[in-house]
Amino acid sequence: MATDAMNMSLHPDIVELRAKHEKYELAAEKPTAQVVTGLTFLTGLFIAASAWIVGFTRFPTLTVNNLIVGVATAVLALGFASMYGRFHGIGWVAPLLGVWMIITPWVVSGDVARTSTIWTNVVTGVLALLLGLASMTVGMRRITMNTRRAR
């Protein structure tokens, strides 16, 4: 009885789950996926530092927002790079962060935001949105291709 409990690695569901994670990991090893992940990471770093780079630190709430969203985007990209098989389930967060960055200058900033502030947030938001959608499709495309081959 104790040996059966210890031998859970042979359970059919676990074997299937490991095979699925392996497919996601293979998808994450593709050069396209690595480029998308790297660009997402760099986008997150820029978003986090954008208030100081562009110079809109006079909007403290927008500065803190960009710092938090940028760090979250960079951490999500690191998760995609290191464990895509486990992080693909929250891949929908990256495009959502991009949409949030696009609307942030009007939602968060109580003052009238400067043109450079608006452009920075909109451009980085669109970039984060597109890269987030691309990172979501990396795993979906690999799983779909494997499913077609199996038939």
Cα separation, 83 vs 79, whole angstroms: 6
- Side chain identity, residue 69: V
Whether residue 18 is predicted with pLDDT greater than 70 in this model: the reply is no
Instruction: Give me the mean pLDDT over the 121-132 stretch.
Output: 95
Question: For 57, phi and psi rounded to 5 degrees?
Answer: -70, -10
Choose between 34 and 63: higher pLDDT.
Answer: 63
Q: Which residue has the tokens 């480029």?
A: 35
Q: Domain spans of the chain? A: 2-150
Choose between 109 and 127: higher pLDDT.
Answer: 127
Residue 85: the pLDDT is 62
Q: What is the pLDDT of residues 53-63, one digit of tens each?
A: 998 888 888 99
